[in-house]
Amino acid sequence: MKIKSDYLLRSVAGYYMVVPVGENSLDFNGVINLNESGAFLWRAMEKETTAPEMVAALLSEYDVDEKTAEADVEAFIKRMREAKLIDE
């Protein structure tokens, strides 16, 4: 699975925002805000990856236990799926 290429991660005042690219209209009601670890997972999904690979990446980058990392990845994927941002 992979994040769709028509969205861009932008850093805005200490947090991150996912905005659609190539559209003539930017709807701030539809943008998704991410914190630092969310942005990290977004970047991991910019290329083809799997949930276990994302958990491994999170564990190597952050001081978290495996259970927390798995829960975070699962929540992130669920949210991205709901927002229809993933190419399965």
Partner 1 sequence: MSSRNNVKLDEVFPLMEEKLNSGGKVTFKPHGISMLPLIRQGRDSVVIEKIDRNAKIGDVIFFRRPNGQFVLHRVIGKDKNGYILCGDNQWQKERGVREEWIIGIMIGILRDGIQADLDCERYRKYIKHLKYRRPLLFIKYKGKRLKEEIVKRIK
Which residues bind to partner 1, rule: CB under 8 A?
10, 12-13, 15, 17, 19, 23-29, 31-35, 37-38, 41, 72, 75-76, 79
Inter-residue contact 49 to 2 (CB < 8 Å): yes
In the bound state with partner 1, the residue whose beta carbon lies nearer, of 13 and 63, is 13
Task: Return d(Cα 13, Cα 26) in angstroms, integer.
Answer: 18
Quick one: which H or E segment has residue 48? none
- CB proximity list for 64: less than 8 A, separation 6 or greater: 58, 72
* Shortest distance in whole angstroms from residue 50 CB to partner 1: 18
- Radius of gyration for the alpha carbons in the chain, expressed in angstroms and rounded: 13
* Shortest distance in whole angstroms from residue 61 CB to partner 1: 14
* Shortest distance in whole angstroms from residue 88 CB to partner 1: 19
In the bound state with partner 1, the residue whose beta carbon lies nearer, of 25 and 60, is 25
Task: Return d(Cα 32, Cα 45) in angstroms, integer.
Answer: 15
In the bound state with partner 1, the residue whose beta carbon lies nearer, of 9 and 56, is 9
